[in-house]
Structure 1
Amino acid sequence: MNIRPAQPTDAPEIPRLTGVIGYSTSPEVVVGRRDRPLSSVFSENLRPRRSNRLSNLNLAPMNPPIKWLLSLILAALASAGPLVAEPHKTYPAIDDTSSVEPGGDRVIRLAVDLKASPLEVWRTLTTAEGWRSYAVAFARMEMKVGGVIETSYNPAAKPGDPDNIRNEIVAYIPGRMLAIRCVQAPRDFKHKQEFFATSTVFELLPVEGGKTRMQLTAVGYRPGEAYDELFKSFRWGNAYTLEKLRALFDPPPPGQGRESSTSTKW
């Protein structure tokens, strides 16, 4: 998903792409996910049984190193606050539950509710016409595993141009999931090799009223300066792209859309 909005005047120097190839002006990392408290998961009448089962277990004495490690884990869990989904800072309609994994890798996780059926959204994701309807000026694609989604912001682009963006289709479940990874970026794009090691997954879930909840998850953003830049870029750019997709199915009244404050740049 490749849309490049106008860069804010106070934004840092950034890569030349948005969406699945994009940039960010928001450096903060929100860690969390939507969850319910355990009190809403386990009913009152279940708690005594769980306690009785645990009290009847004959646990062997732990040696000091294991006991010390377990105490550290329990202390960390006790000090951790609840993980809660937050709206994206720039686009409130986008839920942002991006997080950091225990090993330090970062995950971009964004979701949006769309006023369209899963079939309509799937057609938009998996056809060249769908990509051109809201994301790019040029698009062609082979909808198969190993196929390529080739796009460009340039309306004069032709298949095979060296500055086109090429995303390989890694896997898909018809109507439900599409996984891609970038295999070609424009020649002036920074940190290409690092970005080629990431993957992006789109998941579609039907919701009440004939609507669809789309979740975008991007993984592979490892520790390091190059990935710091890429994570910020695509966390913002992917949120922008989801907002454009939302507006495609639910256009704002004339004069009230974000198009008045953004423009496409090639």
Structure 2
Amino acid sequence: MIHTLIIDDEADGRNALRIAIEKYFPEVSIKGIYETPEQGLEAIRTTTPDLVFLDVQMPHMSGFDLLKHVSPFNFEVIFVTAHDQYAIKAIRFSALDYLLKPVDIDDLRVALEKVKERLHHKNAQHQYQSVLHNIQHKAGKIERLAVPTQEGIEFFNTADIIFCEAEGSYTQLILTQKRKQLVSRNLKDFESLLADSGFCRVHHTYLINLRHVHKYIRGEGGYVIMTDNHHVDISRRKKEEFLQLLDKL
């Protein structure tokens, strides 16, 4: 049995989720439903749940802010959100689960299956730390990126990332001082998170840090020479966007 709490300030959202769980998922036992983050935080501290359905946007305290007050962090979370695109990007990047309102039964089923797997392995702690770190930069540029790995979390200063190169479903980070780091996130995930932090997708294979561009060589698309002397091709369809962003530096 998965002991569960629901924390959501919207009555319709709370009720719809409760009805769906009670009707389709008998293995999930709802131990409490709370409309304020303060009530939910107290319940987390006193009931030791296995799983919390947590609304991202609530008055006075967001779902992410609530989690920052929790220690120890020994339960799973399925985030629930209506339209916060940046939150969705950060959650996806950390390979965690979220549901869009109104909640779809099939999406709920998939999210619960993933939760069961994580409960079995007890290995999601670092992923939550990662999303909490990255989400705090919502209002501005990300200066330090938290990347979940098998060993824990790797922190990278974005200024040290020269460019990112796609390698299938993985991404190779090319860093200063001749360092490299292979990360189990695809290039689109990095693009979504770093688009407002001085990075530009110049090719289906490359996302570059514009502040590490040493020289642009003209051509049909052209190419750039990065500060580590790597040559990175610019695709024809990305050329105009790249040059516009370069002019703004």
Q: TM-score, normalised by structure 2?
A: 0.25
Bigger relative contact order, structure 1 or 2 (CA pairs below 8 A, ≥6 apart): 1
Structure with larger Rg:
1
The structure whose residues are more often strand, as a share, is: 2
